[in-house]
Structure 1
Amino acid sequence: MTELCELSAVELLSLYAARKLSPVEVIRDVIARSEAVQPVLNAFCSLDPERALATAVAAERSWMAGLPTRALEGVPVSVKDTAMVKGWRFARGSRLAEHNPPATQDSPSVGRLRGAGAVLFASTTTCEGGWKAVTDSPLTGITRNPHNTDHTPGGSSGGAGASISAGCGPLALGSDGGGSIRVPASFSGIFGFKATFGRVPMYPIGPHYSDMAHFGPMTRTVADAGLMFSVIEGRHPMDPFTTDPLPASDFPVTPLPLAGVRIGVTEDFGFMKVDPEVAAVYRAAITRIEAAGAVLVPLAPMEDWRPTYRTLWQVGAWQSQRRLSPAERDLLDPEFRGWGDHGAHIPTGDYVDAMMARLAYRQECARQHAAVDFVISPTVSILPLRAGLTVPDDSWPDWLEWAGFSLLYNMTGQPASSLPAGYSSCGLPVGIQIGGRINDDIGVLRLSMTLEALLAEARPDPSAAFDRAMRKG
């Protein structure tokens, strides 16, 4: 792999400013890398090299002429196929949209990235409608993990996770309705961040996302995620839930000293079944965090929230499918169609109970954070499963059983990240999840930055990931 594909967005901007590197060189390298990896990983719905190159040429002129530049001037960014990019097909991984015309507008986050000078070069794959925590769909097929192509990179932002891990650009826009940024961040060995609900504008949203969905950054470094977040966050008229932008003084994000920081720790929240290798990486990480000065506070067990989330998600799946014709339903992912069928038969009372239970979880987490500053758990309870599967084997009823850690913070709206923490004995990545108080987005990023340095040996190596993928392919 060439050196350019190793560089972070922060490093690229520094080199552009010093006139030691051109955005044109970078995008050509990123496109070449993406085209090389696509037959193996299937991380992209489409690439747009011509328009990307034109954007990079304009950025090069600005940098070389010493003209005013913007926050992401000339930095390559990919966009998950749950966000609209003007001129690109917007399909959400569904054959229902296979022949739709190109989008006529950008989603707010995409518009902000474009307005900040980003070079939008590719649409990344997702499962249909982002409904599950792995990435395969009837439209785009199976996306694979660069660490081992027999395995999934997670989902539903799996194309983003695989591409960032393999060095196909430093920044990717993902979306997260139940861990869809954090699960692939963990499985792909990168960093992912889901902000407080309403911090980043969400438009459009699928019917089954409701108010649990978020757009957010997927990157190889926390500094890059903070930079990207600074561009996309803040109030927008297309999303009535959005909040005022954070103070400029919050950026760039800086490390958080660990001395005296109270961190709630839990390996399983009292009910999750955790793979022994995941548990071992998690225990090693929190031992080091404590040795660095943090105060670890074991959390009391919580009630299993997966049934609540399952009810909400299955009713949402039904809502998204209920007006489809039989011919249209036949085009859906059969498993997704099955979730809609389940949702159609959930009594109204059970749905209302789930809504109330969701509020109770929000209150319980608020009480937790009266005693601790952050909560750290594993991100996912298992190692990356085989590509093309939704569960490791028949002992798991559905994907919520193994992706359960991430669901909580979608129901509560709290900020959460996934940070690389180590590797299994067979070289598969393992992440830890950092949850914070509502509106403490910067705190979660600052702690993530501190732990990134503490666990530096787990930092992603795009060269190694790419080389492994190409050998396997």
Structure 2
Amino acid sequence: MSSRHDHEIKLEPTPRMFIPYVSGLPLRLLVLFLEYVPGLSNYFFWSRKINVLRNKRFNDEITVMPLPLPNEVFGIEEPMIINGLEIFDQKNKYNPILENQKFLCARDFTEAYLAKRVTPIQVCEKLIDKIDHSCSKACDPPLYGMYQYHKDDIMAQAKASTARYNQKLSLGPLDGVPVAIKDEFDVFGYETHGGTLFLNRGKPASKDAFLVKKLKDQGAIIIGKTNMHEIGFGTTTNNPNTQTTRNPYNPNHYCGGSSGGSACVVSSGLCPIAVGCDGGGSIRIPSSFCGIYGLKPTCGRISMTGDYPFINSVGVAGPMAANVDDLALAYYVMAGKDPEDPKTLLQPSPTLHNIYHTNTLTDLKIGVFSAWNKQVIDPNIKFALQTFMNEFQLRGAKFIEIDIPELDNARIAHLITITSELCSTMNGYRKSLRLLSPPNKMNFAVYNHISSSDYIKAQQIRTRIMRNFSKIFTGVNLILTPTCAITAPPIYPRALKYGEINPSVTYNGVMYTQLANLIGIPAITVPAGYNDKDLPIGLQFMAKWYDEATLLRVAKASEEILGSNRRKPSEKYWFGDLL
């Protein structure tokens, strides 16, 4: 990552939308026209102004994978604790969860097992019934958070965990804890469909993804695959193929996407931890909409071996959890080097250093770009942001006004990068693309007009933005923004059968999240309250490369600040009484 010039390249601001909202029969007709009327898809491409880079000249070098320069890596403090799992040892009284916490955490499960109040077998028997109900018409409407779950496999894992507890051979703080996996990671015996009707049909995975194996090695019970937006290309998890996942706080609103099923099952209490994947906000957006915690790690921090490679340079795996302790636990277990994923070999050792030092934050400088943060649509988000800033200041944190140059350039560069990589992957399935839902048929018709020149220039902009952020992080530890400019958008019944194109929801969903994916830095979303419709609000912190520990520390402080104001969903959509 380097650049020969420091001057800012300015582009014309691009519009928020290139077409209005469309769904149902009009969407199907539009897709037919795009596919069969010569020149129409090219018109939509040009009207979107995605080609705005094509006639610009850049002298910057190309950064294809957003890994930091060596000085960014070597500047990371090595962990004080050799084995970070020690702070989760049941024998140690680490910073306890809040007494008013309404969501079960991993520690609740393991303590119940150790005390012989319940066994993993009993928990999983109850859990399977609750999953069945959450996906049945008796739920009215069903949440559809889980997509695939093999009851025999769940019970086999539960029996093995129960035997370990009976023999006093627990594997650690995840043994017997239910964990769900997004349906783009391989889980032995499950087919990885990626939200489609054609990927890997009849081809169950012969082995676990690297991160799944690491979770299983700690005794986690993998309860199955969660629903997702088709091929991860959307922010709502509206998926006509696999059913649309609904928000436990209001089933008439979306849960976010593309890792919407993972957010749903955690938010509704079916499990305390789930795994998602984030290419432009796909962990953070649904976590924000569903009122849980979500961590998008540094590029290369968690192995992607065994992930379906939809988006190679912007997609990262990460944990989603009902509380920060479990988020940290899952992150620490999954992070680390994997010889089969070269991106992971550069990283320093993962650490949980200081994540419970939250009473005083005098050592933290937090950057805010006020003009950007004010672009939220829901005024309740502004109020939540200011409230949390006030609370952080009471703990000694310093807020510093910063400028983030070339934001619109970064947005275009990310759009070109993620769509180019996705089109490149899916074009290998030309004969099956007819099975895609109408929104993605339209997306491919438009985005396949991106040229190699567009892609190269997007990577040159990536170089510039990475350099800009290296400079910004010399003056601040963190950057604070809203997670999204909106809260969970409504589900329109006419969108359920064929999907929808909603540029406003997409734009306002990824406004603050896509930047971290473009340049590879870690980011976290924390629940920060609720709007006047009782829908969750999320705030986002971004940190320099590999500094997930500081993100987890401010997330823990945020959890304490929200405190008793944290709410669980209504009883109808709450399935967390597992113990």
TM-score, shorter chain, exceeding 0.5 = yes
Give the match's secondary structure for 1:296: strand
Q: Is the 8 A contact 2:237 2:245 kept in 1?
A: yes
| 1:209 shift after superposition | 0.8
Q: Does 2:324 align with 1:222? A: yes
Give the match's secondary structure for 1:455: helix
Q: Which residue, out of 419, 422, 442, partners 1:317?
A: 422
**Pairing of 1:323-402 with structure 2 (within 5 A):** 323-325=428-430, 327-387=431-491, 396=503, 399-402=506-509
Q: Is the 8 A contact 2:384 2:529 kept in 1?
A: yes
Residue in 1 that maps onto 2:201 = 99
The 3 A distance-change label for structure 1 pair 166 and 16 is same
Q: Does 2:210 align with 1:108? A: yes
Bigger shift: 379-388 or 62-71? 62-71
| 1:363 shift after superposition | 1.3
Give the match's secondary structure for 2:560: helix
Distance 2:216 2:371 in 1: 40
**Pairing of 1:22-171 with structure 2 (within 5 A):** 22-39=119-136, 40-97=142-199, 99-171=201-273
Q: Which residue, out of 498, 511, 514, partners 1:407?
A: 514
Q: Which residue, out of 496, 516, 528, partners 1:421?
A: 528
The 3 A distance-change label for structure 1 pair 270 and 26 is closer
| 1:131 shift after superposition | 1.4
Q: Does 2:291 align with 1:189? A: yes
Bigger shift: 300-309 or 172-181? 300-309
Residue in 2 that maps onto 1:9 = 106
Give the match's secondary structure for 1:250: coil
- Structure 1 letter corresponding to 2:491: A
1:116-144 Cα distance to aligned partner (Å, 9 max, x none): 11111121000111111110224202110
Distance 2:367 2:353 in 1: 26
Bigger shift: 105-114 or 246-255? 246-255
Give the match's secondary structure for 1:377: strand
Distance 2:296 2:227 in 1: 19
Give the match's secondary structure for 2:521: coil
The 3 A distance-change label for structure 1 pair 185 and 466 is farther
Distance 1:397 1:353 in 2: 26
Distance 2:400 2:363 in 1: 12
| 1:421 shift after superposition | 0.2
Q: Is the 8 A contact 2:262 2:274 kept in 1?
A: yes
Distance 1:268 1:38 in 2: 42
Q: Is the 8 A contact 1:269 1:300 kept in 2?
A: no
| 1:85 shift after superposition | 0.3
The 3 A distance-change label for structure 1 pair 270 and 190 is closer
Q: Is the 8 A contact 1:267 1:378 kept in 2?
A: no
- Structure 2 letter corresponding to 1:422: G
- Structure 2 letter corresponding to 1:353: K
Q: Is the 8 A contact 2:103 2:322 kept in 1?
A: no
Residue in 2 that maps onto 1:442 = 549
| 1:397 shift after superposition | 5.4
Gaps of 5+ in 1: none
Residue in 1 that maps onto 2:385 = 282
Q: Does 2:310 align with 1:213? A: no
Q: Is the 8 A contact 1:41 1:469 kept in 2?
A: no
| 1:9 shift after superposition | 0.6
| 1:105 shift after superposition | 1.2
Give the match's secondary structure for 1:293: coil
Higher Cα Rg: structure 1 or 2?
2
Residue in 1 that maps onto 2:413 = 308
- Structure 1 letter corresponding to 2:420: V
Distance 1:105 1:315 in 2: 29
Taking only aligned residues, the RMSD between alpha carbons, in angstroms, comes to 2.6
- Structure 2 letter corresponding to 1:446: R
Give the match's secondary structure for 1:142: coil
- Structure 2 letter corresponding to 1:37: S
The 3 A distance-change label for structure 1 pair 268 and 216 is farther
- Structure 1 letter corresponding to 2:428: R
| 1:452 shift after superposition | 1.0
The 3 A distance-change label for structure 1 pair 248 and 237 is closer
Give the match's secondary structure for 1:41: coil
Bigger shift: 139-148 or 19-28? 19-28
Q: Is the 8 A contact 2:185 2:308 kept in 1?
A: no
The 3 A distance-change label for structure 1 pair 133 and 42 is same
Q: Which residue, out of 18, 24, 28, partners 2:115?
A: 18
| 1:374 shift after superposition | 0.6
| 1:57 shift after superposition | 1.5
Q: Does 2:534 align with 1:431? A: no
| 1:387 shift after superposition | 2.7
Give the match's secondary structure for 2:525: strand
Give the match's secondary structure for 1:422: strand
The 3 A distance-change label for structure 1 pair 301 and 443 is closer
Q: Does 2:371 align with 1:264? A: no
Distance 2:465 2:254 in 1: 30
1:229-269 Cα distance to aligned partner (Å, 9 max, x none): 11111011221111377658637942443124111123553
Residue in 1 that maps onto 2:566 = 459
- Structure 2 letter corresponding to 1:20: R
Distance 1:123 1:253 in 2: 30
Distance 2:184 2:374 in 1: 32
| 1:407 shift after superposition | 0.4
Q: Is the 8 A contact 2:374 2:382 kept in 1?
A: no
| 1:420 shift after superposition | 0.1
Distance 1:249 1:426 in 2: 38
1:281-303 Cα distance to aligned partner (Å, 9 max, x none): 22222122222221111222533
| 1:67 shift after superposition | 2.1
How many residue pairs align between the two structures? 463
Q: Is the 8 A contact 2:178 2:272 kept in 1?
A: yes
Residue in 1 that maps onto 2:396 = 293
Q: Is the 8 A contact 2:332 2:351 kept in 1?
A: no
Distance 2:513 2:333 in 1: 24
Distance 1:8 1:210 in 2: 32
Residue in 1 that maps onto 2:72 = none
Task: State the structure with bigger RCO (CA 8 A, min sep 6), 1 or 2.
Answer: 2
Give the match's secondary structure for 1:432: strand
The 3 A distance-change label for structure 1 pair 268 and 49 is farther
| 1:207 shift after superposition | 4.8
